[in-house]
Structures are given as C-alpha cells and as structure tokens.
C-alpha cells in the first residue's frame, strides 16, 4: 500500500463548477501538507501548504486537512479552463526534507 | 535566472549508456532535491543536498545512480549503464533553508528515454 493515495482521475467538470480533490495517507507522522499544480510537460508549481489540521484559503483555492481521518482536500471555486492541469498532493514529516507525493489527479475544466 | 533550470530538456539514449542530468537551482537556495516521475505517476524522492553534502540519499534506486553538487549551485545526477526502466522525467527542486522542504520550487524536468 502506498503511503499517499490519490485518485488519478481523469476528472472533467464544466467551467464555474466547484472542484474537490482529495488524498488519503497512512503515516500519522506527516505534519505538512502541500498541493502542487502541474501543467503538461512542466514542473510542479506549489499552490499552497498547510501545517497540521485545519483550513487555509488563497483566492479561489481552499486546502483542508483532517489529521484524525488522514484525509486532505483541495477545493477550487469558480473553476476556469486555465485550471486544467494535474494536481499533486504531497506531505512530509516535520524536520524531514523528503516530500511524499500522491499519484496526481488529472483535471479538465470544460468551457 | 528567476527559476530552477534543468538541462537537457530531453535526452534519448541507448540501453547501457551513461547519462548526466544538470540542475541549476534558484540563486541563494541552499537546499536541492532530485525526484523522478514515471509516466502517470507521482514524484519519487531520490536525493537531497544541503550545500554540497547529501544527508539523505535514501531514494536512489541502485548504485547506478549518483549525484553531486558544487557548493550551493549546480548539481548533476548521473545514471550509469542505463536501463529501460530508468525512462522517466527527472525533476530538480530547490528551497531556501531554513524555509524548508515545504516550499520546494521545481524546474521543468529532463525527460529521459532509454531505448
């Protein structure tokens, strides 16, 4: 079993929809949780990161962490075609340098 | 430059040949990381540098893989006697320390194809 599980999709939604992306994990020592966006043939771009449990909002993006359930989510409001990309969750243990990634979810926003 | 750069962007090689991949981190970033991304998969950690030392090389898949870094700048990842299963995108990232692992900035990657 992988340490971090992420549904690879693909996920296709109409423009303007609310998108929910999720990851589950097995290692309770993870403390930092990141979401990256990766466009085709590009490197991943950090969207946001969260420490421990709770919510964090940045514009149209909201990250949620539920450590009791070992479950993290990224919500995208008012989705745009430019949001079409692969979204990767990542996490690490405090003080460790190695990030552990999910498989990535491929998202398409249809105009 | 403003971001992490990697070269070459694409590399096609024959099985058994050695390859060298290069990474130029963001200026001033002391931490540097190498990851591998197989088709349709997430990123796998390979090695981490702090300055020119490598405190964590736990992700290197075999002794055919090695990496070095000159000071706090360029790093090279070398794969000897390449195999077809080495085909992947090799990504480099850097971060400021102690800003830490949580804010890693990635380069565009080198797409390696082993025939």
- pLDDT tens digits, residue range B15-53? 999 999 999 999 989 899 999 999 888 899 999 999 889
Q: Do B58 and A101 touch (CB under 8 A)?
A: no
Q: What is the pLDDT of residue A62?
A: 97
Share of chain A above pLDDT 90, in %: 81
Which of A44, A49, A97 is facing B48, going by the closest CB pair?
A: A97
Under 8 Å between Cβ of B31 and B110: no
> For an interface test with B, which of A49, A50, A99, A103 has the most B Cβ atoms less than 10 Å from its Cβ?
A99
- How far is A44 from chain B, CA to nearest CA, in Å? 6
When pLDDT is cut at 50, 70 and 90, the band that residue B101 belongs to is: low
| Residue A98 to residue B44, Cβ atoms within 8 A | no
By C-alpha distance, the chain A residue nearest B31 is A97
Beta carbons of B104 and A46 less than 8 Å apart: yes
CA-nearest of A80, A32, A39 to A56 is A32
pLDDT digits (tens, 9 = 90+) for A78-110: 999 999 999 999 999 887 888 999 999 999 999
Q: What is the nearest CA distance from A41 to chain B, expressed in angstroms?
A: 7
φ and ψ at B64, to 5 degrees? Answer: -75, -15
Q: Which residues, at least 6 apart from A86, have a Cβ–Cβ distance to it below 8 Å?
A: A37, A38, A39, A40, A104, A105, A106, A107
- The helix (run of H) or strand (run of E) holding residue B79 is strand B75-79
Tokens 């999720």 found at: A22
Task: Give the model confidence (pLDDT) of B63-83 as tens digits.
Answer: 999 999 987 799 999 999 999
pLDDT of residue B98: 60
Whether residue B106 contacts residue B4, with contact meaning beta carbons closer than 8 Å, is answered with yes
CB-based contact A44 B45, cutoff 8 Å = no
CB contact under 8 A, B102 and A92: yes
Residues of chain A neighbouring B93 (CB-CB closer than 8 A): 43
């Amino acid at each position: 079993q992988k340490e971090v599980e992420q549904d690879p999709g693909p996920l296709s939604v109409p423009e303007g929809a609310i998108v929910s992306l999720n990851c589950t994990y097995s290692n309770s020592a993870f403390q930092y949780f990141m979401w990256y966006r990766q466009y085709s043939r590009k490197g991943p771009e950090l969207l946001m990161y969260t420490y421990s449990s709770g919510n964090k909002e940045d514009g149209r993006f909201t990250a949620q962490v539920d450590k009791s359930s070992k479950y993290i989510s990224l919500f995208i409001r008012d989705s745009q075609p430019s949001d079409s990309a692969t979204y990767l969750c990542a996490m690490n243990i405090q003080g460790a340098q190695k990030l552990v990634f999910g498989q990535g979810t491929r998202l398409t926003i249809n105009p | 430059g403003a971001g992490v750069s990697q070269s070459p962007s694409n590399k096609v090689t024959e099985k058994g040949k050695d390859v060298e991949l290069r990474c130029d981190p963001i200026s001033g970033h002391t931490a540097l990381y190498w990851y591998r991304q197989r088709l349709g998969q997430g990123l796998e950690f390979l090695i981490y540098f702090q300055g020119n030392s490598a405190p964590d090389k736990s992700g290197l898949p075999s002794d055919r893989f090695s990496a070095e870094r000159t000071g706090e700048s360029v790093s090279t990842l070398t794969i000897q006697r390449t195999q077809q299963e080495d085909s992947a995108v090799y990504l480099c990232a850097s971060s400021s320390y102690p800003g830490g692992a949580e804010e890693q900035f990635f380069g565009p990657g080198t797409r390696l194809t082993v025939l």
